Every structure is written in C-alpha cells, then in structure tokens.
A = this chain, B = another copy of it.
C-alpha cells in the first residue's frame, strides 16, 4: 500500500466525534491556515460556492452558542468552532459574481461565459432546482463539511460534526438575519482530552459489502 493510502486510511479510521476537547489546546496559526484553505478549496455545483464559514473563537460567543447547541460542551471547549452557512436564495447576482471571478482568474471574456451562465439560470433560477434551492445550497455545504472533516483528520485535528443545534438561534446570535446566509451545521475543531473515552471505542460502520454494490 502506498504511503498516501495508508496515511489516508489511518486518518479516516482514527477520527471520531470528539466528546471532550482539551480547552487549553488551540490550533496553531499554520495548521488553521491549511484548514481555512481546505474550506475555501471545497468543490461545489457549478463552482458557485453558495456558502460562508464563521469561525468562532470568542469565549463569550461560544458560551452563547453552546446554550443553543443542546448544551454540548464541545462548543465552548474546542479551539475553533466552525459554523457552516448556506445561501438562502440564488439570484442572478450570485451567477454574475461567479462569472466575474472566472473572468478574473482565467482571463476570459464575460461574453464567452454567457452560455454557462444561461445553463445556471435555467437550472437554478428558472428550472427544477429553483423550488428546492435552499436544500441544494445546503447539500453543497455538506461537501465542505465532509472535506473539512477529512482534512482535519489528516492534520491530526479533532472535531465533532454537530447538527444538534438551533439554526434560528445561531442566526440570531451571529447576526445573520437579512444577510442572505443561514446556519446549517457546525464543526467544533481542536484537540481531544486524553481522558475522552469515546476516542477508543470501536468505530461502528456497516460492512463495505452491505454499503457498496457493484454493477
């Protein structure tokens, strides 16, 4: 097995939903920068990146968020509490933002992207996905969650994916109302306490033979 393969499997097997973080251990700036880049590099449908990520380190804010996260201690004890936001709607301005970024990155003309924009309009604004655009944007956010969890595991950073929170209360506390973004899920990141007994429990996964079928 290659080193890349064994490192990846060790990381994915070693990670777990951390119950007890060491509140004294912080993610250093260099490691955080890699995780921030991993977030920003996340793939999304059409490359639209219909998201934002709030990174909460303020003790006061963490305390407020813990109170609306089923009182889970990880929110306060983690190093970086990452909150995943999805766009609440997709408008032509979102498409134009992507087109402008593409023009800037690739040195092409706006006109050359007219057909691409037309596809997006037909699908996301005027088409079948328009009826479910929040669900669609939320799906993209979960790609970011998946990529960030895998990335953290590879860097030896612990995390605890968290749907057990009150999104509306998060939006209120974080001042998101009217921003066009809404809270979907969170991932406190940091380092486990040596005494976290969940770290050594065997992982519960269905057998690959139950989950994967070949055709």
Does A7 sit at the interface, judged by CB under 8 A? yes
Of the listed stretches A30-38, A71-79, A188-196, chain B binds A30-38
Interface hits, A106-162 → B, CB 8 Å = 106, 135, 138-140, 142-147, 149-151, 154-156, 161
A to B CB contacts below 8 Å, 12 in the list:
A4-B154, A4-B156, A5-B34, A9-B38, A12-B41, A53-B212, A56-B215, A57-B214, A57-B215, A105-B203, A106-B201, A142-B143
Taking Cβ atoms with an 8 Å cutoff, the residues of A that contact B are 1-2, 4-5, 7-9, 12-13, 15, 17, 30-31, 34, 36-43, 45, 47, 49, 51-58, 61, 97-98, 101-102, 105-106, 135, 138-140, 142-147, 149-151, 154-156, 161, 163, 174, 185, 201-208, 211-215
Other 9 A-B pairs with CB < 8 A, given A49-B205, A53-B211, A58-B215: A1-B30, A8-B38, A39-B208, A40-B208, A40-B211, A144-B146, A145-B146, A147-B147, A147-B149
